[in-house]
Amino acid sequence: MASQQAEDASHVLKKNTYTFQLHLEDIHGKPCVEEPLIEGDRHRLREVLDQLLENAVLYSPEGGTVEVVIRPIVIPGQAGSSPAPLGHDESRTVQRGTSLSVRGPQQMMEICVRDHGIGIPREQLERIFENFHRLDTRLTREVNGLGLGLAISKRIVELHGGTIWAESKVGMGSTFHVRLPLEGKARLDPHEGAQP
């Protein structure tokens, strides 16, 4: 689903003079043709991909390359705290209202959209997912919009149980990462990531 949406959304790039590269990878980072499915609202997830691709074009030089990498990942389990259920054993309580828990590994689909454009200054990087935030227009050519696209994208991703963030270097470009949980039949074989 994600690769089809990325290919469909690439029309943004093709009508300009940009190169679009789609890379599907397996859990080991090797090229593959089959991708796990993400369960979710197809139209809303398409909005997220469209937004990321449009931004990659808007903030890249004419004729630039935009890459999309789609790969399954496993995030190792970690200790954390979660709300204590009613009637839980008080002897296991770490702090009032919380109990120690261990989260198992999470199977996610990661979608990365990478451009080689102007990049985002560190002081602005932390704010790009806020409502009405726009990059300093002195850094870009004329870009229209209200500064809501990334804020809406973040909300859509979070409503699907995922996360979104960006990495960037001024003058080198940006990479936006979206991680969404794999559900049901799309989950990875637990032995697939194991080393022989």
The answer to the question of residue 19 being in a domain is yes
The answer to whether residue 86 sits within a structural domain is no
Q: What are the strands, taking DSSP E only, across 39-169? A: 65-75, 78-83, 93-95, 98-103, 106-115, 163-169
DSSP state of 84: P
Structure confidence by residue, pLDDT tens digits, 17-71: 667 777 888 777 788 766 667 778 889 999 999 999 999 988 888 888 899 998 8
Q: What is the mean pLDDT of residues 80-109?
A: 48
**Which of 6-20, 68-82, 103-117, 149-163 is predicted most confidently?**
149-163
Residue 81 vs residue 12, higher pLDDT? 12
Burial 154-175 (b: 16+ CB within 10 A, else e): bebbeebebebebebeeeebbb
Whether 193 maps to a domain, the answer reads no
Which among 64, 97, 63 is positioned nearest to 82, based on CA atoms? 97
In a domain, 82, yes or no: no
Mean pLDDT, all residues of the chain: 73
Neighbours of 180 (CB within 10 A): 21
- Other Cβ atoms less than 10 A from the Cβ of 83: the count is 10
Residue 195: inside a domain, yes or no? Answer: no
Q: Give 138's pLDDT tier (boundaries 50, 70, 90).
A: low
Q: What pLDDT is stored for residue 185 in this prediction?
A: 45
Q: In what order do the strands lie in the sheet with 19-24?
A: 19-24, 65-75, 106-115, 173-181, 163-169
Does 155 map to a domain?
Answer: yes
Look up residue 25 and give its two tokens. Answer: 């990878």
Two structure tokens written together for 118: 């102007």
Q: Categorize the per-residue pLDDT at 186 as very low, low, confident or very high, splitting at 50, 70 and 90.
A: very low
27: containing domain: 2-77+102-186
Domain total of the chain: 1
Residue 60 forms part of a structural domain: yes
95 in a structural domain: no
pLDDT band with cut points at 50, 70 and 90 for residue 106:
confident
The CATH number of residue 134's host domain is: 3.30.565.10
